[in-house]
């Protein structure tokens, strides 16, 4: 059984209606990044930051997984423990589509944690009538469980081990600009993986790709998944 690893970025979620900060109508358009996506911004104006993430959380609930998400669920069903999905997205659409082996390296909107005691709470359980949700354990300010600029992404050790042992790395809907995720293809390539990408535009790290398919993930990923299952799937 081949080891299959998937890395997803904003492009796959954009096809479900999730806005991306790199688009002209992106999330950060009316706010400086450091004001809404940094510990310093939260310390300066926590109400602004919470309003921002409440809107993103609601948007994630309104969005639905698209054919690319469901194709990746099918890929996990066929490859089982030989499948891993790493995502830079925080909308939870992969989990809603049915994937279970998911590493949400930038956190998830569905969770929040206390900025004082670090205890975690499901976002759905917070009291949004408060300007800033308060921790029921210690009374501190809650914040979205999102990795902000200047913070260390989750699961980096686990991801490194996965990349070193994968046979195929699929890179879907990412520009290849933002590190450390942009460097994952180099690690996988050094350790012998075949690297395949789908994106609307050619990614910055194109030279590390064996195959690149320009286009929409929702149209192309199901076809790639069919081929992988046909050639290497089955348990």
Q: Among all residues, which ones are annotated catalytic?
A: 106
Cis preceding linkage at 180, omega within 30: yes
All residues at 6 or more sequence positions from 96 whose CB lies less than 8 Å from its CB, including other chains: 64, 65, 69
Residues in contact with 92: Cβ distance below 8 Å, sequence separation at least 6, in sequence order: 60, 104, 108, 109, 110
**CB-based burial label for 173 (10 Å; 0-12, 13-18, 19+):** buried
Give the separation between CA 190 and CA 34, rounded to whole angstroms: 34
Q: What angle do CA 171, 24, 91 make, to 5 degrees?
A: 50
Q: Where are the alpha helices (DSSP H) in the chain?
A: 10-14, 33-36, 39-44, 46-62, 67-79, 93-97, 156-164, 184-190, 217-232
């Amino acid at each position: 059984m081949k080891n299959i690893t998937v890395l997803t970025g904003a492009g796959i979620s954009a096809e479900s209606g999730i806005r991306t900060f790199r688009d002209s109508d992106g999330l950060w358009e009316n706010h400086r990044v450091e004001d809404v996506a940094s510990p310093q911004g939260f310390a300066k104006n926590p109400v602004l930051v919470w309003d921002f993430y409440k809107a993103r959380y609601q948007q994630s609930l309104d969005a639905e997984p698209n054919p690319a998400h469901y194709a990746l669920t099918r890929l996990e069903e066929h490859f089982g423990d030989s499948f891993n999905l790493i995502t830079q997205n925080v909308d939870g659409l992969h989990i809603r589509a049915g994937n279970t082996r998911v590493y949400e390296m930038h956190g998830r909107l569905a969770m929040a944690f206390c900025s004082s005691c670090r205890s975690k709470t499901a976002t759905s359980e917070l009291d949004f009538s408060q300007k800033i949700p308060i921790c029921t354990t210690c009374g501190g300010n809650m914040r979205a469980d999102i990795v902000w600029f200047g913070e260390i992404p989750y699961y980096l050790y686990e991801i490194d081990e996965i990349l070193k042992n994968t046979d195929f790395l699929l890179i879907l809907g990412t520009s290849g600009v933002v590190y450390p995720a942009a460097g994952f293809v180099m690690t996988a390539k050094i350790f012998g993986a075949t690297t395949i990408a789908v994106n609307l535009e050619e990614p910055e790290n194109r030279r590390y790709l064996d195959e690149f398919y320009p286009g929409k993930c929702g149209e192309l990923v199901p076809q790639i998944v069919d081929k992988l299952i046909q050639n290497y799937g089955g348990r």
